[in-house]
Amino acid sequence: MPRILVDENVPRDVQEWLVKRGFDITSVTETQLRGAKDQAIGNYAAKNKLAVLTLDNHFSQVYRFFKGNQLTVIIIKAKPATPVNIIQTLDNAQKRINLKEVTGKLLIISKKKVRVIT
């Protein structure tokens, strides 16, 4: 299962849910990246072969800076962005995709749809 770097805007309850589901996560708050710009987070994730999980739409621009399959970004669109809505969105997406097959892609996920952008 891919390793995930969880952005600091993702609630703690969601991070705990991911761990219970068997995901290997690192929170941005556990690194020296707390408060860092998105580009620095993207660089760290690419260097360490981590997928970025975020609520921040601007990460789609960060994704475009990387060539080939260097960075995987997963943007969650859950409105409102409560832990319950985010978890439901992730649970629905997990049933539709295999993270190993979308390495190096940009994923935009909502409750009803998963968009994979290359």
Peptide bond into 11 cis (omega under 30): no
Q: How far apart are CA 76 and CA 52, in angstroms?
A: 11
Q: Residues 6 or more apart from 55 whose CB is under 8 A from it?
A: 7, 9, 10, 75, 76, 78, 81, 86
Q: Which of 60, 63, 57, 58 has the alpha carbon at shortest distance from 78?
A: 57
Q: Residues 6 or more apart from 37 whose CB is under 8 A from it?
A: none
- List, for residues 26-66, the tens digit of each pLDDT value: 999 999 999 999 999 999 999 999 999 999 999 999 999 88
pTM for this prediction: 0.93
The secondary element (H helix, E strand) that includes residue 59 is helix 59-64
What are the chain's domains? Answer: 3-117 (3.40.50)
Q: Is the pLDDT of residue 102 over 90?
A: no
**pLDDT at position 20, please?**
95
Six token digits for residue 70: 């260097």
Q: Is the pLDDT of residue 1 over 70?
A: no
Q: Which of 94, 90, 74 has the alpha carbon at shortest distance from 7?
A: 74
CB atoms within 10 A of CB 57: 10
- List, for residues 64-100, the tens digit of each pLDDT value: 988 777 899 999 999 999 999 999 999 999 888 887 7
